[in-house]
Homo-oligomer: A and B are copies of this chain.
Amino acid sequence: MTGLLFDLDGTLIDSVYQHVVAWRDALDDEGIDIPVWTIHRKIGMSGGLFARALLRETGVPLGPEVVARLAAGHQEAFARYAATVRPLPGTNDLLHHITELRVPWAIATSGRMATAGPTLGLLDIPEGTPIITRDLVARAKPDPHLFLAAAEALSVPIEDCIVVGDSVWDLLAARRARALGVGVLSGGYGREELERAGAFRVYEDPGDLLLHLDEIGIRDPD
């Protein structure tokens, strides 16, 4: 039985661009000028790696106080944008369908439960579904820990799991964990970026994946 391990932001929920602009606001408040497309391409990474990458790009050493202020500033700004955040097209239909088929599935996100909580409320998640957040593992994406923990919570070997994600970091983490990776375009990466990061198939969004589930080996019972 194949297990499905879903990323959250940009994969099930249409929240990437609001996160990007919220980071831009927080950085601007600290006087740090980073081109917005480079913020976009780092979303979904662990917060620690994100801060280290920023440090390299700005050349300005970011002390732990600045990193903490940035994280708080991002959270505050994101709250202002959260009113326009919705599930992506087909998300809840997909989750209902795989639940009916008794496909084991879980969510694995680089975000912390404090940030992910309200977003998860937009989804129809059956009781007992494993939700693996940054709080529960030592390292977030592109390290494999989140997906390994999600597979373990499902009691499905990671080699029998498919990771579904919108970012290069999901797909790199999937390869490092030895899961298959499926990309979705709904986080705003290009198709070829996801394929080159290892996606063995790319769909537009959860609705498009639902229409093509048989392509990744998930079928209605005969």
Seen from chain A, the residues whose Cβ lies within 8 Å of a Cβ on chain B are 10, 14, 16-18, 20-21, 24-25, 28, 33, 35-37, 40, 81, 83-84, 86, 88-89, 185-193, 205
Contact = CB atoms under 8 A, between A and B. Distances in A.
Contacts of A20: 17
Contact of A16 (B14, B37, B86, B192): B37
B33 A17 contact: no
Contacts of A192: 190-193
A145 to B, nearest CB: 27
Contacts of A188: 36-37, 40, 188
B35 A81 contact: no
Mostly, the A contact residues are helix
Contact of A21 (B21, B89, B205): B21
Nearest to A80: B80
Contact of A36 (B17, B24, B28): B17
14 contacts: A14-B35, A14-B37, A16-B36, A16-B37, A17-B21, A17-B36, A17-B40, A18-B21, A21-B84, A35-B89, A37-B187, A40-B188, A190-B191, A192-B192
Contacts of A186: 35, 37
| Among A17, A83, A187: residue with most chain B CB under 10 A | A17
Contacts of A36: 14, 16-18, 188
Contacts of A187: 37
A25 B190 contact: no
A84 B73 CA distance: 14
Contacts of A33: 86
Nearest to A84: B28
Given A17-B40, A18-B21, A21-B17, A88 B189 contact: no
A35 B208 CA distance: 13
A26 to B, nearest CB: 10
A17 B186 CA distance: 15
Closest 6 A-B residue pairs measured CB to CB?
A190-B190, A192-B192, A37-B188, A17-B36, A190-B193, A28-B84
| Among A24, A28, A89: residue with most chain B CB under 10 A | A24
